[in-house]
Amino acid sequence: MSDDPRGTRALATFVAGASISNAGSFMQATAVPFVLYRLTDSNVWVGAAAFAALTFPVLMSPVGGILVDRFSQKAVLVTAQWVQIAPALALAGLAASDALRPWPTVILVAIGGMGAGLQFPASQSFVPTLVPATRVATGVRWTTLGFTVSRTVGPALAGVLLTVTGTTTLFAVNATTFVVYLVLLRTLRPRPTTAHATDGSWLHQYRAAIAYVRARPGIVALLGIGVIGACFGPSLSFLVPGIAARFGAGAGGTGALATAYGIGAILGAAVIVRTGDRVPRATATRLGYVGFGVGEIAAVSSRSLAIGLAAFVIAGVGYSLWLTSIGTAFQVQITDAFRGRLTGFYIAAVVGGTPVGAVVGGWLGDRVGLGPVFVAYGGILLLLATLGARRLRFGLLDRASPLSD
């Protein structure tokens, strides 16, 4: 991964810690919709949980971005883990006392989302401090591969724990993963960075960052491609319990579908890691849109769980192609001077579109059914990947450095 053995070891440690923590988060993210759907039999509550889990990270990511530029990615990451431990333990306590209810669950998910909002910009901008500049793209790909492995391991464990032990153990295990991440972070010695325009008010700092973005059409394009993909693609992974119900499956089916999505994501990430820069990022991102679209439409084409699982694998491949490609494009097109704040913009686009799509999809799903929602979302992405490619300016994702703008 790097010519520097220390950089290689540091990156491996970071990827391992982040993957363990993310696996716990995905495990909880799989369990909470199932719990809410079982309590309420409502896709709206499932969408509300997704909204809480993802909107609060978006609201907090600007704070995290400024803190990263003012202090360090490592300090913000450590703080984020402590913020997320508390609600995980509270959920475990409520589950142990059989007191899980919709509103307390959503509120605790929102608190955890605040911690995630601090973590996202710090984690996304951490790789360039661990490896040489020439290896940033490779580091981002390996980090994304670790993230996608977590998407498989977390839901798979959730399915097992929900079936064998229950939610108490699941939430307690999630809290433990944050502790493991904290221990591994203590061993890392990242390269110090120098930020730009971090004096004065936060408004002044973000005005400087906005001016930086507006002068770089490549970044503007990838933010647009990110928010659209997030709204119509991964948002529907939060509506898995309703899809599992279409197949007549319960907790096991929910975990299986989420695991299939993760397996597809691993396959897509492995392809990107293997091919490196031989496949243009613009091409990979458009294929990601296509994977989302085909997977979503196929998922509701029949009542067969086997077809649903295959469809979720395809959608997972699309997810990974889309996320890895725009994430790599973003990190190679920005400089350290604004990395934290610009990563906040990136998180707002990639994460912020997801709760919007989930809430709207859940609301529509309760009225017209999830089948038409999946078909509509998938059709939109297929149209944008083909007829709308020029308008979205996919080609700008292939710019190779901050100076190319």
Amino acid present at 230: A
Provide the mean pLDDT of the chain.
83
**164 within some domain:** yes
Per cent of the chain over pLDDT 70 is 94
CATH number where 280 lies? 1.20.1250.20
Q: Is residue 124 part of a domain?
A: yes
> 79 in helix, strand or coil?
helix
Residue 195 CB coordination number (10 Å): 19
Looking at residue 90, its pLDDT comes to 94
Q: Contact 211/335 with Cβ under 8 angstroms?
A: no
Structure-token match 């970044």, residue found = 219
- Residue 279 inside a domain? The answer is yes
Closest CA to 203 of 345, 349, 62, 30: 62
pLDDT score recorded for residue 290: 96
* pLDDT (tens digit per residue) in 386-403: 888 888 888 888 876 665
| 118-132, 169-183, 260-274 — most confident range | 169-183
Residue 190 forms part of a structural domain? no
Q: Is residue 380 part of a domain?
A: yes
Q: Which of 302, 290, 168 is nearest to 233 (CA)?
A: 290
Rounded Cα gap, residues 358 and 354, in angstroms = 6
Are 254 and 240 a contacting pair, CB within 8 Å? yes
Q: Is residue 354 part of a domain?
A: yes
Q: Tell me how far CA of residue 82 lies from CA of 68, 71, 110, 111, 132, in angstroms.
A: 16, 17, 15, 11, 30
Residues 307-363 have pLDDT tens digits of 989 999 999 999 989 988 888 888 788 777 777 788 878 888 887 788 788 888 888
Radius of gyration of the chain from Cα atoms?
A: 20
Q: What average pLDDT does the segment 77-91 reach?
A: 92
- Structural domain harbouring 319: 5-185+197-404
pLDDT at 213: 85
Q: Which residues make Cβ contacts (< 8 Å) with residue 23, sequence separation at least 6?
A: 149, 150, 153, 154, 157, 177
> Does 238 have pLDDT greater than 80?
no
Is 302 contained in some domain? yes
Q: How many domains does the chain have?
A: 1
Residue 192 within any structural domain of the chain: no
Q: What is the pLDDT of residue 195?
A: 58
